[in-house]
Amino acid sequence: MEEALRPRLVSAERPVDGQALAAASDVELTAACQNGSQAAFRELLSRYRKPALALAYHMLGDAEDAEDAAQEAFVRVFQAIPRFRGQAAFSTWLYRIVTNTCLGRLRRRREKISLERVSEPRSADSPSHQVTNALMTRQVLSMMPPKLRTVLLLRVEGRLSYREIADALGLPMGTVRSRLSKARTAFRKLWLDLSESGD
């Protein structure tokens, strides 16, 4: 009975494909992408669009720019995936591409993001102190030297290990360690400066 039903159910819908994809590891998905699987690329996109966007958003300080940059990064990923050999984790590789895409855009922009330029995030309405905190956080990040900001964001948003950050940026582990420490100190100092000037 069950045996007779199963083939019909499987062919009628395609949840089985979806479940298999959702359960697949990044390694399996990148391999499938290399074999031309469109569904695997879509799954990677759905898995990483949000963190990639968050990273770009913090780096660029503008939601629209961030969307463009994150999309551009995914297109680059698609183009480069045939040559991806899995030396690093897919996420590390992706974040490196997002980071480089954003740095390129910042270089082209060649302007400091001022508080006026920091547009309101497209977010659900939240209490005003949260909005103020968010604005200040973004302002602080935009004032940090890009080298420090990048390691901090890869750690906090990308949740990469020090080894992975070192791989992503081509830096020695010791440099990642010291930059993260400096980044946090700088963040805190800028935060306090801004809080005082705001009072």
Partner 1 sequence: MLACRLIQRDLSSYLDGELPAARAARLEAHLRTCQRCREEIAALEGINDQIRAVSHDLQVSQDFDQRVLRAVGYYQVTRAQRQRKPLTKPLVVVALILLALLGMIRHFFSRTLPLPARAPVPAVSGLAPAASGATMPDRDRERRR
147 is an interface residue for partner 1 by CB under 8 A: no
Question: Residue from 31, 134, 171, 194 that binds partner 1 (CB under 8 A)?
Answer: 134
Q: How many residues bind partner 1 (CB under 8 A)?
A: 44
DSSP collapsed to 3 states, 43-58: HHHHHHHHHHHHHHHH
CB 148, CB 179: distance < 8 Å: yes
162 is an interface residue for partner 1 by CB under 8 A: yes
C-alpha distances (whole Å) from 62 to each of 52, 88, 92, 143, 149 are 14, 29, 23, 14, 15
189 is an interface residue for partner 1 by CB under 8 A: no
| Piece in contact with partner 1 (CB under 8 A), picked from 22-30, 93-101, 103-111, 125-133 | 125-133
63 is an interface residue for partner 1 by CB under 8 A: yes
Q: Which of 188, 163, 159, 189 is nearest to 176 (CA)?
A: 163
Question: Residue from 59, 93, 96, 157 that binds partner 1 (CB under 8 A)?
Answer: 157
Helices 128-143 and 146-156: crossing angle, nearest 10°?
130
Residues that bind partner 1 (CB under 8 A): 38, 41-42, 45-46, 49-50, 53-54, 57-58, 63, 67, 70-71, 74-75, 78-79, 121-124, 126, 130, 133-134, 137-138, 141, 152-153, 155-157, 161-162, 177, 180-181, 183-184, 187-188
